[in-house]
Structure 1
């Protein structure tokens, strides 16, 4: 479906509202770029808006995204309603869809944060496929999950599953789905030597969680340097 031949498709990404998904994804990615989360063309974001899924494209510098670069998918049929003529769908799409399908998410973010990658390496060194940390104030910024409601508390232990990386991003789908099912309260999954997928009920929750986690990961790396333990 070309953006040059279908006015209905163009209407999906045309809005003056800064919080419309076609505009909001670009703004989010520019913000993430400033954090070093989406360097090069890596990483991305997706927003569910009613029955429409908005997706950033593959292979585009995220700080330069425009509304007309967005792909739009029908959530029910999984068919594209809008496909920019010279761009490719994000390789993250199957992973984003897993969060929408399994968790009824409203937004999903994927970053290549250096701190996320480093904590997966430290866990690998320790022979663990779970990142665990406790007694940090910022843990309060992490949702407790659908079975518990609310956010984690200061005395709660944050636990995030780690899945192994693959040669192609879309091949992570099965292991990410399995992690979601095995960890029903997790709102994120780390990918070893790669980055993290984070989702929330809406953009605000996903973004807040992503920022809180990155702070925690950086702190965890610095704690490790000092010989401080993550858990009691």
Structure 2
């Protein structure tokens, strides 16, 4: 027996003082209404309603149970409403740790809009690229880029970001303009993102049609 449903049916029956009207208002078969009340009475071991073809009476036990049931259902409805409001309008403190590039380019510029949308939420934003200890540091959420290391934590892919390889006119004047991606690895200096949790730098990817190139290491010669 679904006791919560049976309790709601009992309240609807006693409100309408009719099994038929209760069934119609709940949009369930009349036989189900009768069965639910019967199961509830059997579960409680008392008669809640006395009815005949001409009369409908709530017993003394039914009146007491109805009063307690109304209070309980009101409390449950209030709990549901409160939970729903929390989902629509979050509140409290949220600790987030995010990588520096994503923080500067995406997160921080969006903070005014975020605060306007969720005024009751206190956001603590940590900006770093080191591995974060979620439990030890009390961090609720970490946003990182790159391949996810082996972890028992729950992770979700948020987005993909494209990187642009660029250089200053002064660099081109000094070292020349590369004509093929392979020249970057052999004859040029590169500055790229470094992942602290893997100890590796971000490879440079280039493609032209079906051809794809990956540059994994930087040229380290200091040339004058």
TM-score class normalised by the smaller sequence: under 0.3
The structure that is helix-richer by fraction is: 2
> If you compute each CA radius of gyration, which structure gives the higher value, 1 or 2?
2
Query: Normalized against structure 2, the TM-score is what?
Result: 0.23
The structure that is strand-richer by fraction is: 1
Determine which structure has greater relative contact order: mean sequence separation of CA pairs < 8 Å that are 6+ residues apart, divided by chain length: 1
Query: Normalized against structure 1, the TM-score is what?
Result: 0.23
